[in-house]
């Protein structure tokens, strides 16, 4: 089962930087993320989701490949590629994996203008090592939602919400 963690920041750069750091930790096999999305709210109050994976583009690329292969069978690979790209892009656009977009937009409405939040769906984590590696984030954010145990959430709050003495 995956755990959802949402951390609020004063500016979008911090959320994007933390997501990049978590990707590095994933490459070191310390964390396994199912999804990581940065939600920003601009000065006008508009909420925007910044997905780590563009499903529309991925669907279009896969559709192009499969469409071209099917097109080869019917001796028209260009038409097959075009139809496949369109169908793949449509299916990618309609697919929502990971964290519910509506929930993130709803929570994004509560962010201050110019603020951001990082939503992470964590499948597995080596907690102590990840918290040690995220030491530079001490006191820079605010935990707004988790599905962790009280003890785990407390450790996370201690990291992000308490400045080092």
Q: Tens digit of pLDDT for each residue in 154-165?
A: 888 888 887 644
Domain assignment of residue 39, yes or no = yes
Write out pLDDT tens, residues 81-113. 666 666 655 555 555 556 788 888 998 899 999
CA 79 to chain centre: 34
Decide the pairing of beta strands 142-146 and 3-9: antiparallel
CATH assignment of the domain containing 143 = 3.30.70
Domain assignment present for 36: yes
Instruction: Give the pLDDT confidence score for residue 114 in this predicted structure.
Output: 93
From CA 103, how far away is CA 16, in angstroms rounded? 19
In a domain, 155, yes or no: yes
Q: Is residue 82 part of a domain?
A: no
Question: What residue numbers bound the domain in which 121 lies?
Answer: 3-54+113-161
Total domains in the fold of the chain:
1
In a domain, 136, yes or no: yes
Residue 73 lies in a domain: no
């Amino acid at each position: 089962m995956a755990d959802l963690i949402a951390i609020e920041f004063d500016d979008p750069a911090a959320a994007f930087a933390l997501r990049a750091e978590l990707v590095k930790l994933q490459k070191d096999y310390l964390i396994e993320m199912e999804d990581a999305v940065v939600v920003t709210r601009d000065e006008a109050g508009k909420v925007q989701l910044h997905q780590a994976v563009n499903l529309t583009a991925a669907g279009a690329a896969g559709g192009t490949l499969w469409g071209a292969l099917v097109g080869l069978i019917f001796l028209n690979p260009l038409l097959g590629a075009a139809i496949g790209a369109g169908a793949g892009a449509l299916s990618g656009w309609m697919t929502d994996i990971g964290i519910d977009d509506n929930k993130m937009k709803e929570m994004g409405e509560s962010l201050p203008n110019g603020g951001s939040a990082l939503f992470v769906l964590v499948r597995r984590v080596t907690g102590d090592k990840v918290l040690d590696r995220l030491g530079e984030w001490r006191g820079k954010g605010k935990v707004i939602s988790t599905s962790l145990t009280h003890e785990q959430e407390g450790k996370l709050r201690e990291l992000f919400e308490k400045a080092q003495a």
